[in-house]
Structure 1
Amino acid sequence: EGDRVLAAVSGGPDSLTLLHVLSRLRDELPFDLRVAYVDHGLRGDRGAVEMAFVAETAAELGLEFHGETVDAAAAAGRGGLSLEEAARQVRYEALAAVARSWGPGPAGEPRVAVGHNLDDQAETVLMRVIEGTGLDGLAGMPALRRDEGWVLVRPLLTVTREEILDYCRAWSLEPRSDETNTDERFRRNFVRARVLPLLESYNPRVREALVRLAAIAREEAEALEEEAARREARLCRPGVPEGESPFAGLSPVPGSVVAMSRAGLKRLPGALRKRVLRRVLRRLAGPEAGRDIGRAGVERAVRAAERFRVGGRLEFPGGVVLEAGYRYVFLARCEGRRERGRVGDGRDGRHGPGASDGPADSGRPEPAVLAVPGRTEVPALGWSFTAEFIPAGDGTRRRAPRGPGRMEVDLDPDEVEMPLRVRTRRRGDAFRPLGVGGTKKLKDFFISCKTPRAERDRWPLLVDASDRIVWVVGLRPDERFLARRGAGGVLRVTAERLKTRPGGRACR
């Protein structure tokens, strides 16, 4: 009662049913209801036609309508995301903007209601299992998620797709169809059309089993999170204890500094150690930037807390900086740091207080995450990358690039840590170039290649989740990550220049 609810409606069966149910509920519960449609800019005139349909439906129900048009393809290019991931991101950003502009009502922040159903939940859990996930990933989509200035709700999460179609027939609703929902190039559609039916031939109730798995995982994840909160309260204190002096040269936001006992953190079981650090990191970064701190970022924070020398630093999205002290590891949100950025370097803490690896403050491009499989453009560097898995037994052989004219490398999927990213060089970078027989500093490698000094700061480097250089693109791969002849399947990455040609010469 008193809620402000923004119904996200695409015109399909799920969202049309959601809108119809919410509209009927207003007769029993006094709440404000509005309608929003987001056109991803991927379907030409079809998106405009469906927006008009949803607007007409809202008008028939006497509801205010908001139509938003976004460019998912451009977002994919900028952020190094797959088209599917980019469309989801810009959709939620557009819905969040509408909700925030509406503002809170008597019952609090506005709700954005989406039409995800039980089948969607099963597909989500299965995709995460296939990709590799932890306990929180197995928990699937939550029915409610709080964000900055709005709340996401999924009222139909326990309702099956078949029940929704029955509802549409019973109430003579005429939903629109989106042809992209059957395009099997998108992961969810492939899982829905190919993988789930195959699993149902083994267990006809596999969807219910996956949803049950999500419920169990969510219950256990919540219990673990409660324990992490208790441990956090014991290990952390606000401010800077006597004898410590972190963040030299930085400007922490007043009240944001957290001191965490290094010894106490080390005594925790690994799972709790990660959760305690993740809780602090995400709280400081805020809900939106906090979601950019993924598993790899949390694991690097754990390693930093355990191994960094005094003064070693890492930077995180949301302007959060971690610095190692003598007895504490310090975390704070610092003014002037990037709001949405990379996890910084400083892997062994040798750089000392106030040291920086350069790129975050020098205007160099942010790292781009590679879509695997898929194609990723990095316009800021003038390159595009295509990644694909090549199964074992199809004649694939290692082809190690020897110069800028060779733009392909076959990697061992078991050796690289996902996700892969493309970034530029940082102070202290080193790798094991194929054929050299040992570790070499990247700076020395560029000199031996006679790479022009002006081009070194913008030369693309393919790195893995642990920030290890996998390939100095077009010049030399790291021998540790190459697929071996006669081994299993390989991950092939192909690089192509978009416009400009750096012009560096091959190594000798």
Structure 2
Amino acid sequence: MGKLKGMTEDGRSVRMMWSARQWEKLQLEPYMDEDERIIVAVSGGPDSVALFHILREWSASPAGKRLELEIAHINHQLREQESRQEEQMVRELARSAGVPFHVTHLDVKAEMAQSGKGLQEAARDLRYAFLTELATKRQASVALGHHADDQAETILMRVIRGTGIAGLGGMSVVRYEKKVKLIRPLLRIPKVDLISFCEQGGYPYAEDSSNLSTRYTRNQVRLEVMPQLSKINPQISDALVRLGDQSRSDEHFLMQQAQEVFHNTVKTEGADCLILQAHWLELHPSLQRRLIKLILSYLLSHTRKKEADFETIEQFREACERQDRANFVIKGANGVNLVKEYGQLRFTGAVDGPEPFAYVIWDWRAQPEWMLPGGIHLTFEERWLEREGFESVDSIYAASFDADALLLPMEVRSRQPGDRMQIHGLNGSKKVKDMLIDRKIPRLLRDGLPLLADAKGRILWMPGVARSAHALISPTTKRILHIRTSAFIQSI
């Protein structure tokens, strides 16, 4: 890593110039591993310059962990000469420290024109894309110089926009982006301490002139709002940072509770999530919101769409509370919908049934197994009664027929308008639609249920629902056809 710098003229370590309390505020030990490669994002400002030297000092100390440091610099090319000077300064820092140096030149204006994003958002997205790609290639983590003032501003900006406990937590010390670990060890250190660290250590740094412009929201908060609040509470920054710490702790606990509820009461079925409304109504609204957030996170992971906002979460939460209607459909944002049927709440991306299907079966011996839409497995098994004997064990997913009484070809198909079935044990016939309603089959599942019909179109069997009075086993039966399906009507 090169010779350790950071010594004053009288030979004192910079570490000695900071109080023990200042060093205790650093969040290093739990978040970094021995011999971990860390790419330090150094803009040239006092915060990132201080971060690099702090990590070097800590890594070289007996109490620290050995780190393999590298420097990455992002030139946004927005301030021309200033940007070039900052790049050269950071390049010299890497050279003097003897660590690898990585640099990229961003075309932020082109990104704005192409994506329609604002300057700050476009610059941030390009910056993080570079850092995560570089870290992936280098098998490294990324250290960022966000400090206590940044944290306080972030929390206040979220309060102004309207946020919940999760937003009040501000930035996390560690988070992952595209599987890359991003570390912010300075979130409890005020900027004034970082400037002092650089000045006492003789470390050159640059001041970004754009930080003085109130054109950007963050600068308005920093230059106008925070000074006004500090007149009321001189320790406003510390107070907001404490609020963030407490909020993150509370949010972590509540999310743990919500995850336990998700595990115990929510059934995942493909890309759907189901929960009984009776279970839902037992939950506190705070857990309801977080449970919806977990459900949407699960569903949106299948669609790669953005996380739903507070209004969408509240729309779903209030709909889940409704008991005035047995069935309804709520179409939410991001393609996620809520379907209530027979006391069951289903979060799904689909509100329409599957496509119709039909398969003609001439010879079940040639093809005894069929895979139907929705992953339903259908199996035919023929037995000669007089030769082998056969004990019929019928259920809602298994039925036995007199093979010689079946009119071929048979057809396995989805339901059609006007379908009726002569149910075994009942006089006359009944509409399939009414049977499905009586059985309380969710509407989204009905068009995907298979029906077995004979050559005359008579429905022989509706797996999961009922069998007909046709082709029953009798004393004269010689061949039995036993048909079974996998269980496909899910319940929770």
Same fold per superposition (TM over 0.5): yes
Farther-moved stretch of structure 1 (154-163 vs 320-329) = 320-329
Given residue 59 of structure 2, which amino acid in structure 1 is its aligned partner?
R
Say if 1:304 and 1:324, in contact at 8 Å, map to a contact too: no
Partners of 2:353 and 2:280 in 1: CA distance: 22
Residue equivalent to 2:136: 100
Say if 2:293 and 2:313, in contact at 8 Å, map to a contact too: yes
| Equivalent runs, 1:321-360 vs 2, <5 Å | 321-322=336-337, 324=339, 326=341, 327-331=343-347, 352-353=352-353
Say if 1:13 and 1:164, in contact at 8 Å, map to a contact too: yes
Structure exhibiting the larger radius of gyration computed from Cα positions: 2
SS at match of 2:43: coil
Residue equivalent to 2:291: 276
Partners of 2:251 and 2:302 in 1: CA distance: 18
SS at match of 2:218: helix
Partners of 1:80 and 1:273 in 2: CA distance: 35
Partners of 1:204 and 1:288 in 2: CA distance: 47
Question: Do structure 1's residue 85 and structure 2's residue 121 form an aligned pair?
Answer: yes
Partners of 1:315 and 1:129 in 2: CA distance: 24
Partners of 2:280 and 2:191 in 1: CA distance: 45
1:329–1:53 distance in 2 versus 1, CA, 3 Å:
farther
State how many pairs are aligned: 315
After TM superposition, give the deviation of residue 287 of structure 1 in Å. 12
Residue equivalent to 1:211: 241
| Equivalent runs, 1:453-492 vs 2, <5 Å | none
After TM superposition, give the deviation of residue 304 of structure 1 in Å. 6.2
Say if 1:50 and 1:176, in contact at 8 Å, map to a contact too: yes
Which of 165, 176, 179 is 1:149 aligned to? 179
Residue equivalent to 2:107: 71
| Equivalent runs, 1:353-502 vs 2, <5 Å | 353=353
Say if 1:139 and 1:217, in contact at 8 Å, map to a contact too: yes
After TM superposition, give the deviation of residue 321 of structure 1 in Å. 4.5
After TM superposition, give the deviation of residue 111 of structure 1 in Å. 2.1
Which of 206, 217, 224 is 1:176 aligned to? 206
Partners of 2:229 and 2:121 in 1: CA distance: 25
Question: Do structure 1's residue 42 and structure 2's residue 57 form an aligned pair?
Answer: no
Say if 1:147 and 1:288, in contact at 8 Å, map to a contact too: no
Residue equivalent to 1:26: 59
After TM superposition, give the deviation of residue 157 of structure 1 in Å. 0.9
Percent identical:
31
Deviations 1:428-461 (A, max 9, x none): xxxxxxxxxxxxxxxxxxxxxxxxxxxxxxxxxx
Given residue 276 of structure 2, which amino acid in structure 1 is its aligned partner?
S
Farther-moved stretch of structure 1 (4-13 vs 121-130) = 121-130
Say if 1:282 and 1:290, in contact at 8 Å, map to a contact too: no
1:259–1:234 distance in 2 versus 1, CA, 3 Å:
same
Which of 40, 47, 64 is 1:14 aligned to? 47
Deviations 1:449-477 (A, max 9, x none): xxxxxxxxxxxxxxxxxxxxxxxxxxxxx
1:43–1:291 distance in 2 versus 1, CA, 3 Å:
farther
Given residue 35 of structure 2, which amino acid in structure 1 is its aligned partner?
G
1:52–1:305 distance in 2 versus 1, CA, 3 Å:
farther
1:209–1:60 distance in 2 versus 1, CA, 3 Å:
same
Residue equivalent to 2:192: 162
Question: Do structure 1's residue 260 and structure 2's residue 279 form an aligned pair?
Answer: no
Say if 1:76 and 1:83, in contact at 8 Å, map to a contact too: yes
After TM superposition, give the deviation of residue 298 of structure 1 in Å. 2.8
Given residue 182 of structure 2, which amino acid in structure 1 is its aligned partner?
L
Partners of 2:71 and 2:280 in 1: CA distance: 47
SS at match of 1:7: strand
Residue equivalent to 1:4: 37
1:2–1:286 distance in 2 versus 1, CA, 3 Å:
farther
Say if 1:23 and 1:61, in contact at 8 Å, map to a contact too: no
Partners of 2:104 and 2:51 in 1: CA distance: 19
After TM superposition, give the deviation of residue 119 of structure 1 in Å. 1.2
SS at match of 1:238: strand
Deviations 1:5-39 (A, max 9, x none): 11111010000001111223332422222211122
SS at match of 2:60: coil
Question: Do structure 1's residue 234 and structure 2's residue 267 form an aligned pair?
Answer: no
1:260–1:33 distance in 2 versus 1, CA, 3 Å:
farther
Residue equivalent to 1:460: none
SS at match of 2:104: strand
Residue equivalent to 1:59: 95
- TM-score, normalised to structure 1, is 0.56
Partners of 1:288 and 1:152 in 2: CA distance: 25
Say if 2:299 and 2:336, in contact at 8 Å, map to a contact too: no
Say if 2:169 and 2:247, in contact at 8 Å, map to a contact too: yes
Say if 1:117 and 1:158, in contact at 8 Å, map to a contact too: yes
Say if 2:174 and 2:182, in contact at 8 Å, map to a contact too: yes
Given residue 142 of structure 1, which amino acid in structure 2 is its aligned partner?
S
Partners of 1:21 and 1:219 in 2: CA distance: 27
After TM superposition, give the deviation of residue 134 of structure 1 in Å. 1.2
Residue equivalent to 1:298: 313
1:261–1:62 distance in 2 versus 1, CA, 3 Å:
farther
Structure with greater proportional helix content = 2
Partners of 2:70 and 2:344 in 1: CA distance: 49
After TM superposition, give the deviation of residue 168 of structure 1 in Å. 0.5
Which of 136, 146, 149 is 1:116 aligned to? 146
Given residue 68 of structure 2, which amino acid in structure 1 is its aligned partner?
D
1:63–1:275 distance in 2 versus 1, CA, 3 Å:
same
After TM superposition, give the deviation of residue 90 of structure 1 in Å. 2.6
Partners of 1:311 and 1:26 in 2: CA distance: 58
After TM superposition, give the deviation of residue 128 of structure 1 in Å. 1.5
Say if 1:182 and 1:189, in contact at 8 Å, map to a contact too: yes
SS at match of 1:157: coil
Given residue 295 of structure 2, which amino acid in structure 1 is its aligned partner?
V
Given residue 263 of structure 2, which amino acid in structure 1 is its aligned partner?
A
Farther-moved stretch of structure 1 (168-177 vs 271-280) = 271-280
After TM superposition, give the deviation of residue 124 of structure 1 in Å. 1.3
Partners of 2:206 and 2:153 in 1: CA distance: 22
Deviations 1:59-110 (A, max 9, x none): 221212221233334444555543223322332222112112223xxxxxx3
Say if 1:305 and 1:324, in contact at 8 Å, map to a contact too: no
1:280–1:78 distance in 2 versus 1, CA, 3 Å:
farther
Given residue 2 of structure 1, which amino acid in structure 2 is its aligned partner?
D
1:193–1:231 distance in 2 versus 1, CA, 3 Å:
same
